[in-house]
Structure 1
Amino acid sequence: MTYAVNQNDRLVVHIEDLTHDGSGVGKVQGYPLFIPGALPGEEVEVKVGKTLKNYGFAKLLTIITPSPERIEGPCHVYPECGGCQIQHLTYEAQLIQKQKTVRDAIDRIAKLPDVPVHPVLGMEDPWRYRNKSQIPFSERNGQVVSGFYRSKTHHIVDTDVCIIQSEEADELMAMLKRELQILGIDAYDEHKHKGFLRHLVVRKARATGELMVVLVTARRKFPEAEQVIQAIKRVVPDVTSIMQNVNTQKTNVIFGNETLTLYGKDVIIDSIGGVDFEISARSFYQVNPVQTETLYNQALNFAQLTGTETVIDAYCGIGTISLFLAKQAKEVYGVEIVPQAIEDAKRNAALNGIDNARFETGASEDIIPKWYSEGKTFDVLVVDPPRKGCDEKLLETILTHKPGRVVYVSCNPATLARDLRILEDGGYKTQEVQPVDMFPHSTHIEAVAWLEI
């Protein structure tokens, strides 16, 4: 089969756009080439790699005309590590590109060109923003390595520094690497299913400064535990909690089912917008607390609560949005399919003395119709689904019962746009969309949409 380009061709290409994973997009006779490292507006020389029927991939050889927005990524392992995709783009240009991503999805998929998509709400300081680090450990040529996985692989890029995570996480990562060698503790080899330390997980509460260290191990027995505890305390003397999570399974999943407290408390406390949250080793909690507050304030703004409304929070997790809403609503009903998350939500409500939030375990598409069948009525529905978007049955429920206002919190512009189209066809009108940058230097973008019936 003949394509516009062939494998190993060397071509000069104009870059028109970025893909969802940060690759530049250039076209040759209408045939798209995806080129990692290239930026919109650049003229580049590339070598064509794999070619498929409708698109191909190419390697960036030379930047002939660089974008004025191109910078040197400040992280020394950035070209190898898969954690960030667009560090080589100025932060201002990242925000413009992310607004374009949302705008394109709303136009192309939702077919709503007249709906306002506002400029992205970014960060004043887009570094060291992650409050949770999950760092794999392994061995290579007899040496302990740790860092982050190269994009689309499980090959660890060995490093002691990540400039989007906390400095304490960096210090602990470097210390543990040395300490394992000194104590003769093996790091885990996931191919051979041998070794002891699988992951270091560090959680830091922005509001309180409390710090939790979790050692994920391949077996329960930990004879060197006291030496490791003392080593951790030398690096972070004020550590709040040191936990051991035991994962004996041959799996890529980080956590196992058993968690033991080695030192201190089994939870840390953080606060967002005046609401306190208990965070355990395995709790789901947004990793960028500064932008989480921005995101939830936007959802609250779109909900337009006056204190008289009854609200549903679908996909409520540990109750973060629910408890935000409860402070300004008459009553909030949260639903989440993960039982542990619902237990956390109830505990967080009690922690804050919030008694107008109710939580139930189950699928939103099952529990919400049940609530309606029990005679409950709702004024506002807030959804914060996973990347795949809302379940089809949940969308049908919304269109059957038609709460007056829907606030849609999304981590995927494509599925947001798809679901907005379905809700529009069912009688809702999308008023506006506000993107929020939760993950600077990556291509991910969150957005909040507001719909009225």
Structure 2
Amino acid sequence: MNLQVKQRIPLKIKRMGINGEGIGFYKKTLVFVPGALKGEEVFCQVASVRRNFVQAKLLKINKPSKFRVEPECGVYKECGGCQLMHLRYDKQLEFKTDLLGQALKKFKPEHFESYDIRPTIGMKEPRHYRAKLQFQTRSFGGGSVKAGLFAEGSHRLININNCVVQDKLTQAIMNQVVVLLDKYKLPIYDERKISGIRTVMIRRALGSNQVQLIFVTSKSVSFAKLVKELTAIYPEIVTIAINYNYSKSSEIYGQETEIIWGQDTIREEVLDYSFELSPRAFYQLNPQQTEVLYGQAVKALDVDKNDNLIDAYCGVGTIGLAFANKVKDIRGMDIIPEAIDDARKNAEALGLENYHYEVGKAEDIIPRWYKEGYRADALIVDPPRTGLDDKLLQTILEYVPEKMVYVSCNVSTLSRDLVSLTQAYEVNYIQSVDMFPHTARTEAVVKLTRKM
């Protein structure tokens, strides 16, 4: 490889990579250029040289793509939270369908060339869709409080007060929180001392318009004056909690969460039922597309009244509860105790009796259930970005429920897991749903049926 750091080169962009970057070849060397689009001719500068590829910084676009648009966001290039805002939205959807194809080609699960990969389902209005905000707070050199996201690959905070993809109400509340943190001189996180308020989470339930907040702090703080003033300005706020995180790690939350004002949960709605969410419980951050995603999951699993269903990684029960009146019984598990408490309360509130939820890991609980004699006819998995645990994969392959739906937020780990799952299952189709417009991420619903 003859390329050197800081060397400037012309490049024709041949395709786009899984992180939304442009990819081209310079004298047979693979070059990744964030911000460049397929078909563009660019001038770039080598930023780093690796064994098999080069990373470069975009300097100039000599021939722009006809699908390039001007990003609405003022901090788009600095923030790194979005990767595709410079690409026209319909082409973003095509890119996300192609993402699946790229990942499948890399891992090569059985018969992947013939999979039915359906066009990505997008949004009519792909702005202000994020109903959950999670901003870091910092105060540099004793100055005013800033809140936002870290620039990609750094601890440099980008102050954000008007995010294009964030729900308008949560952004407005965050802006007011910053003002009040300043006003009452509350301690803001210092990375050297590991002390102060480090993160603020704000979530709005689309179904009820109720809002909850979590202040993540590494020291005891009195929020009484801030809470009184904030809740007077925003009556939509019904829950305020403190999470204590004393760790040096990048983990956002610690283990201890305390409600300091208001009620324990907020009420959300999806499909034809409502449910409660405690502050730490997981729920999709795009409620509008969650309706689409869960609808696709229900359609794909195609259960009947005699089926026993396992909802792995169940959270507060949101996907599984959509099946509760369609199956014989439903079981689920999650590692967050508050989520399982919510799942039980949600099932009870719906008048259900055919449910069982446990705290723990799917890879530990499901094998135990099978040893105890339980058998699932249908299985739905919605794992974190790391995909399915090896132990759980082996359990699935050992007992092979007849019907399975895999809901994935990471096309790479999905494709990797399909290598194992296709030993026992046929992939009927993959439906991509755009949960994260303007980013390089997508969700996918995979319908699988046991091989005959």
Classify 1:233/1:391 alpha carbon distance in 2 versus 1 (closer, same or farther; 3 Å): closer
**What CA RMSD, in Å, does the superposition of the two structures yield over aligned residues?**
1.9
1:36 and 1:211 map into 2 onto residues whose CA distance is: 36
1:393 and 1:259 map into 2 onto residues whose CA distance is: 30
**Contact residue 322 and residue 357 of structure 1 kept, 8 A:** no
Q: CA deviation at 1:234?
A: 4.3
1:337 and 1:242 map into 2 onto residues whose CA distance is: 23
One-letter amino acid of the counterpart of residue 158, structure 1: N
Structure 1 residue 448 corresponds to structure 2 residue 449: no
**Contact residue 27 and residue 33 of structure 1 kept, 8 A:** yes
**Contact residue 168 and residue 236 of structure 1 kept, 8 A:** no
In the other structure, the counterpart of 1:297 is: 295
Partner secondary structure for residue 347 of structure 1: helix
In the other structure, the counterpart of 1:6 is: 4
Correspondent of 1:307 among 305, 308, 312: 305
**Contact residue 271 and residue 322 of structure 2 kept, 8 A:** yes
Superposed counterparts of 1:332-351, under 5 Å: 332-351=330-349
TM-score normalized by structure 1? 0.93
**Contact residue 278 and residue 338 of structure 2 kept, 8 A:** no
In the other structure, the counterpart of 1:260 is: 258
Identical amino acids, percent of aligned pairs: 38
> Per-residue displacement from partner, 1:139-180 (whole Å, max 9, x unpaired)?
123222111111122211012111212222222222232223
In the alignment, structure 2 segments of 5+ residues that lack a partner are: none
One-letter amino acid of the counterpart of residue 80, structure 1: E
Q: CA deviation at 1:416?
A: 1.4
**Alignment: residue pair count:** 447
1:240 and 1:339 map into 2 onto residues whose CA distance is: 21
Partner secondary structure for residue 326 of structure 1: coil
One-letter amino acid of the counterpart of residue 443, structure 2: E
> Per-residue displacement from partner, 1:49-83 (whole Å, max 9, x unpaired)?
21112001111111011111111111111110021
- Deviating above 4 A after TM superposition, structure 1's stretches of 4 or more consecutive aligned residues are none
Bigger drift between 386-395 and 113-122 goes to: 386-395
In the other structure, the counterpart of 1:40 is: 38
**Contact residue 335 and residue 359 of structure 2 kept, 8 A:** yes
In the alignment, structure 1 segments of 5+ residues that lack a partner are: none
In the other structure, the counterpart of 1:124 is: 124
Superposed counterparts of 1:53-452, under 5 Å: 53-109=51-107, 110=109, 111-141=111-141, 142-194=143-195, 196-222=196-222, 225-424=223-422, 426-452=423-449
> Per-residue displacement from partner, 1:307-353 (whole Å, max 9, x unpaired)?
22111112222211111121321211213344333222212211222
**Contact residue 306 and residue 329 of structure 1 kept, 8 A:** yes
> Per-residue displacement from partner, 1:91-148 (whole Å, max 9, x unpaired)?
1111100000102222342251111100001111111111111111111232221111
1:198 and 1:417 map into 2 onto residues whose CA distance is: 36
One-letter amino acid of the counterpart of residue 394, structure 1: L
One-letter amino acid of the counterpart of residue 183, structure 1: Y
Bigger drift between 318-327 and 295-304 goes to: 318-327
One-letter amino acid of the counterpart of residue 25, structure 1: I
1:369 and 1:250 map into 2 onto residues whose CA distance is: 35
> Per-residue displacement from partner, 1:250-278 (whole Å, max 9, x unpaired)?
44333334433333212111111122222
Q: CA deviation at 1:30?
A: 2.1
Classify 1:266/1:68 alpha carbon distance in 2 versus 1 (closer, same or farther; 3 Å): same
Classify 1:181/1:363 alpha carbon distance in 2 versus 1 (closer, same or farther; 3 Å): closer
2:244 and 2:337 map into 1 onto residues whose CA distance is: 20
One-letter amino acid of the counterpart of residue 403, structure 2: R
One-letter amino acid of the counterpart of residue 180, structure 1: L
**Contact residue 134 and residue 202 of structure 1 kept, 8 A:** yes
**Contact residue 409 and residue 448 of structure 1 kept, 8 A:** yes
Classify 1:191/1:82 alpha carbon distance in 2 versus 1 (closer, same or farther; 3 Å): farther
Bigger drift between 36-45 and 360-369 goes to: 360-369
1:92 and 1:40 map into 2 onto residues whose CA distance is: 14
Bigger drift between 354-363 and 281-290 goes to: 354-363
Q: CA deviation at 1:360?
A: 2.5
One-letter amino acid of the counterpart of residue 215, structure 2: L
1:379 and 1:259 map into 2 onto residues whose CA distance is: 37
**Contact residue 323 and residue 354 of structure 1 kept, 8 A:** no
